[in-house]
Amino acid sequence: MDKLFSDKEYAFSKVYQSLNVTALLKKQPDDFIVEEYIPVDFSGEGEHCWIYIKKSGCNTDWVAEQLTSYCGVKRMEVAYAGLKDRHAVTSQWFSVQLPGKPTPDWADFESGFSADDSAEKIQVLQSVRHNRKLQRGALKSNAFKITLRDLSDTSDAMFEALQLRCEMIAQRGVANYFGSQRFGRNYNNLEQAVKLFSRPRFKLARHKRGMYLSAARSWLFNRILSERIDQHVWDNRLPGDVFMLDGKSACFKDDATDDLKQRLESNEIHPTAPLWGEGDGMVASDAAELEANIIDQYPVYRDGLIAARLQAQRRACRVIPGQLEGSRQGNNFVVSFSLPAGCYATVVLAEIFSELIEAV
Catalytic residue annotation: 85
Q: How far apart are CA 146 and CA 134, in angstroms?
A: 27
Closest CA to 27 of 153, 157, 151: 151
Angle at 261 between CA 257 and CA 263, to 5 degrees: 95
Burial of 98-110, coded b for 16+ CB within 10 Å and e otherwise, reads: beeeeebebeebb
Do 230 and 12 meet the contact criterion of CB atoms below 8 Å apart?
no
Phi, psi angles (nearest 5°) of residue 355: -155, 135
Q: How far is CA 321 from the centre of its chain?
A: 12
Instruction: Count the helices and strands in the chain (H runs, E runs).
Output: 10, 16
- Listed in sequence order, the residues at least 6 apart from 226 whose beta carbon sits closer than 8 Å to its beta carbon are 12, 13, 175
